[in-house]
Amino acid sequence: MSIFPADIEDRARQIIASFSGEKHMVSTAESCTGGLIAGALTEISGSSAVVDRGFVTYTNEAKMEMLGVSRATLTAFGAVSKETALQMVHGALFRSRAHIAVAVTGIAGPGGGSAAKPVGLVHLATKSRDGRLLHREMRYGDIGRDQVRLATVRTALDMVLELSHSA
């Protein structure tokens, strides 16, 4: 019995099965999801052969210290931006043994949004060792904190699967 909805568990199971067969590893860098992506992956038996590590970088300081996100990027674009997500995924990949990394940064709500960056805005990125890169800007809307976070986990896992199958 998983603590995650069945569709998230299914996605995580696909990643663990696919990566186990290829002897590939994944790392996560999470802000608004607070470790839920890594949690979904490690819910699956056999994940210890696939999940290298997860970085929960909720503050700007953590993003800079743990992932190498530049202060200039955070100042110019903000924590919730394409530029920050791309630096987060790069840091997660090259500060781990992973073949693919995924990073998410967003505004889960209920507060913290603005006209330019509303509640439900999330930037996601996946990157592989061979340089393949995906970025998505999602606008889930003000659907509730839990639902924004779960929707982000779904999209992140889908992006890992998409990148892993595009080789």
Contacts of 147 (CB under 8 A, 6+ apart): 140
Q: Is residue 19 part of a domain?
A: no
pTM of the model: 0.97
Q: Is residue 15 part of a domain?
A: no
Q: Is residue 51 part of a domain?
A: yes
Residue 53, pLDDT > 70, answer: yes
> Mean pLDDT of all residues in the chain?
97
CA dist 62 and 20 (Å) reads 30
Q: Is residue 13 part of a domain?
A: no
Per-residue confidence (pLDDT) for residue 2, from 0 to 100: 81
What is the distance, to the nearest Å, from the Cα of residue 159 to the centroid of all Cα atoms in its chain? Answer: 9
Based on the structure, what is the number of domains in the chain? 1
Q: What is the CATH number of the domain that holds 63?
A: 3.90.950.20
Q: Is residue 5 part of a domain?
A: no
Q: Checking DSSP bridges between strand 133-139 and strand 121-128, what pairing results, if any?
A: antiparallel
The DSSP string of 98-126 is -SEEEEEEE--SSS---SSS-TTEEEEEE
Q: What is the dihedral of CA 35, 36, 41, 45, to 10 degrees?
A: 100
For the stretch 96-145, pLDDT in tens is 999 999 999 999 999 999 999 999 999 999 999 999 999 999 999 999 99
Q: For residue 100, what are the domain limits?
A: 25-165
Q: Is residue 69 part of a domain?
A: yes
Q: Is residue 7 part of a domain?
A: no
Q: Is residue 10 part of a domain?
A: no
